[in-house]
Amino acid sequence: MTVGSKRKLYILESQGKSSGFFYGMKTMAEANLLFDYTGHLPECPTWSDAEQALYWADIMECEIHRYVPATGDHQILQFPEEVGCFALREKGGFIVALRSAIWLADSRGLLQHKICDNPSNPQLARFNDGGTDRDGRFYAGTFWGPGDYNGALLVRVDNQLRPKVIQCDIHGANGLAFSEDKGWMYTSDTPNGVIYRTPLDADGEPGAREVFRLFQDGEGIPDGAAIDEEGCYWSAMFDGWRVARFSPTGEQLAEYRLPVRCPTMVCFGGADMRTLFITTTRENMSADEVAQYPLSGAIFTLHVEVAGMKKLPFIER
Residue 134 labeled ligand binder: no
pLDDT (0 to 100) of residue 30:
62
Considering only residues 222 and 28, tell me which one the structure prediction assigns the higher pLDDT. Answer: 222
DSSP string covering 3-61, please?
GGGTTEEEEE--SSS--SS---EEEEEEPEEEE----S-EEEEEEETTTTEEEEEETTT
- The residue from 58, 129, 189, 223 that is catalytic is 223
For residue 262, the one-letter residue type is C
pLDDT (0 to 100) of residue 14:
41
pTM for the full model? 0.92
Residue 30 labeled ligand binder: no
- Rounded mean pLDDT, 128-143: 98
106 catalytically annotated: no
pLDDT at 32 over 70: yes
- Residue-wise pLDDT for 82-93, tens only, equals 999 999 999 999
CB 274, CB 305: distance < 8 Å: yes
Pick the CATH number of 3-303 from 3.40.50.300, 3.40.1670.10, 2.60.40.420, 2.120.10.30: 2.120.10.30
pLDDT (0 to 100) of residue 221:
98
pLDDT at 45 over 60: yes
pLDDT at 175 over 70: yes
Residue 192 labeled ligand binder: no
Q: Coil, helix or strand for 4?
A: helix
Residue 174 labeled ligand binder: yes
Q: Coil, helix or strand for 123?
A: coil
Domain ranges of the chain: 3-303
